[in-house]
Amino acid sequence: MIEIRINGDKFESDVRAMVQAFYPNEKLYVVKERTELEVQKRPDGPLIRTLSFNTDSYDDKNVLKKDIYGKLSADMGKSLSWGILTGVRPTKIPMSFLDAGRVKEDIIDALKRIYLLNDDKANLITDVAARERTLIGTITDDTYSLYVNIPFCPTRCLYCSFDSYPIGAYEDAIPSYVDALKKELKAIEEINHDKKLLTIYFGGGTPTSLSAKHLREIMSFINETFDLRYLREWTVEAGRPDSIDIEKLKAIKECGGTRVSINPQTMNDKTLKVIGRAHTADDVRNAFHLAKESGIDVINMDMILGLPGESTEDVRFTLDRIVEFKPENLTVHSLAMKSKAPLVLEKDKYVDFSMENPDENMMLAREYAGRLELLPYYLYRQRNMVGNGENIGFAKEGTEGLYNILIMEELHSIYSAGAGAITKIVKTKGTLNKRIENVKDVKEYISRIDEMIKRKVDI
Ligand SMILES: C[S@@+](CC[C@H](N)C(=O)[O-])C[C@H]1O[C@@H](n2cnc3c(N)ncnc32)[C@H](O)[C@@H]1O
Ligand code: SF4
């Protein structure tokens, strides 16, 4: 545990984020010195060190973060490749510089000077921002996207914190869930009747946990209800290979799906067992070939770096296998330690597993993506990432998942249906004006569907 003492109300979250970046696996405990007010309940465990910051004397959070960075970097003999950047969307900074007409060299220089990024990350986010800008250049204000949440999975993965439920225990509720979804989808279409639907994304959870019949029912309803003339892509996260069969993939293809994810996370069977995926590397192979056979245009594969017990050589092993598939998209995540995930909740069970994600891992992933002629086109970061890394989406030119950029950069409204789905209203490009949340519990979502709809209609 690290105790942080601050003397004001300002910048608490910035101080926390900066200290956490140096101590990704430590719990933080904040005390406001002026009143000795404990901000957070003191976590259990030994106190590693106490840090005091005179936050009251700062007006600019970046100056404060730079001072914290300087102190911790000197004390620990460690620099961070992301410098003082701790936010989820670092590309927003080079994006705003590009909008202001600044040239690439000038932007890279500013990222290094103001935010202390190393040369590699400064170049990377500037390139990603430039690519994003080209891809979103044609998006007009009269468009929106649709997200459909299917919060069910075959089993829970060790690192996962999503609100998702075991499909086996919810079979009886699925027909009513599909009915409630259809009702909400109809309302979303009515609200946006004058707008152009640009992208659809089925996520979760694992949408292919549903049967082929239910997938077809929801997708056919969308075809009948919405005007799909302007639709540029329709992603269905198939995700877990153990949830996929040819009937489901055919249903997706025949109903208009253009992009699916077949996610190995790792191709090491030993690790797949540890992380509770309940499928093998061979199952990934079969699922990938079925997806190809179904004729779906774009296949994405997700992998995670820094998984329990995995070395850089294990990452190389996974990448060597992925290269054989030649997917159109590859999304590389750095393991994030989520407080609601079993990996963190039951962390004593995993003390013997190393969890490391050096920059070398991401460099390797970028090298392999390059071999497949995939370019980085969106990037985001999360809190508590092992190795203080990033998540990057790579794609063959012309196959980029547009929805991923739209949600990341908050470029237009995304209307969301389903339990736990969050609608994000954007009135001015780049600014999230309102979030409308649906209840997370599946049974409550079904019984309170009219209220979920009213929340959106009222906006
Ligand atoms: C919304 S999840 C759903 C995907 C699908 N259910 C699956 O597991 O294959 C999308 C991706 O986020 C990544 N992910 C989920 N939890 C993560 C974590 N704690 N750290 C890093 N990546 C994570 C995984 O690569 C996963 O495929
Ligand atoms: S990682 Fe995917 S499959 Fe695993 S529990 Fe989370 S949403 Fe479900």
Give 236 Cα–ligand 1 centroid separation in angstroms.
Answer: 14
Pocket of ligand 1 (CB under 6 A): 153, 157, 159-160, 162, 203-206, 237, 239-240, 263, 265, 302, 304, 333, 335-336, 338, 341
| Closest ligand 2 atom to 240 CA | 3
C-alpha distances (whole Å) from 292 to each of 18, 104, 142, 374, 429 are 44, 39, 34, 18, 36
> Is the pLDDT assigned to residue 158 strictly greater than 90?
yes
Position 147 scores a pLDDT of 98
CA–CA distance, 103 with 98 (Å, rounded to integer): 7
Report all structural domains of the chain as residue ranges with CATH numbers, in order of start. 1-79 (no CATH), 138-452 (3.80.30.20)
Tens of pLDDT, residue by residue over 436-459, are 999 999 999 999 999 999 999 998
Per-residue pLDDT, averaged over 242-255, amounts to 97
| Token couple for 446 | 């079904």
Q: In this structure, which residue's CA is closest to atom 16 in ligand 1?
A: 160
Position 37 scores a pLDDT of 65
Give 206 Cα–ligand 2 centroid separation in angstroms.
Answer: 7
Position 141 scores a pLDDT of 86
- Name, in order, each residue with C-beta under 8 angstroms of 243's C-beta and a sequence gap of 6 or more: 153, 154, 167, 206, 208, 209
Tens of pLDDT, residue by residue over 320-360, are 999 999 999 999 999 999 989 999 999 889 989 999 999 99
Where does the pLDDT of residue 408 fall: very low under 50, low under 70, confident under 90, or very high at 90 and above? confident
CA–CA distance, 254 with 330 (Å, rounded to integer): 24
Position 383 scores a pLDDT of 84
Average pLDDT over the chain reads 94
> Is the pLDDT assigned to residue 128 strictly greater than 90?
yes
Tens of pLDDT, residue by residue over 275-292, are 999 899 999 999 999 999
Q: In this structure, which residue's CA is closest to atom 11 in ligand 1?
A: 302
- Name, in order, each residue with C-beta under 8 angstroms of 402's C-beta and a sequence gap of 6 or more: 135, 136, 198, 199, 232, 233
Give 205 Cα–ligand 2 centroid separation in angstroms.
Answer: 5
Position 140 scores a pLDDT of 87
| Nearest ligand to the CA atom of 318 | 1
Q: Which of 176-180, 325-329, 383-387, 399-403 has the lowest mean pLDDT?
A: 383-387
Global pTM value: 0.94
Pocket of ligand 2 (CB under 6 A): 153, 156-157, 160, 162, 164, 204-206, 239-240
Per-residue pLDDT, averaged over 55-79, amounts to 95
- Name, in order, each residue with C-beta under 8 angstroms of 64's C-beta and a sequence gap of 6 or more: 11, 14, 15, 53, 55, 58
CA–CA distance, 444 with 149 (Å, rounded to integer): 15
C-alpha distances (whole Å) from 434 to each of 272, 418, 454 are 38, 18, 15
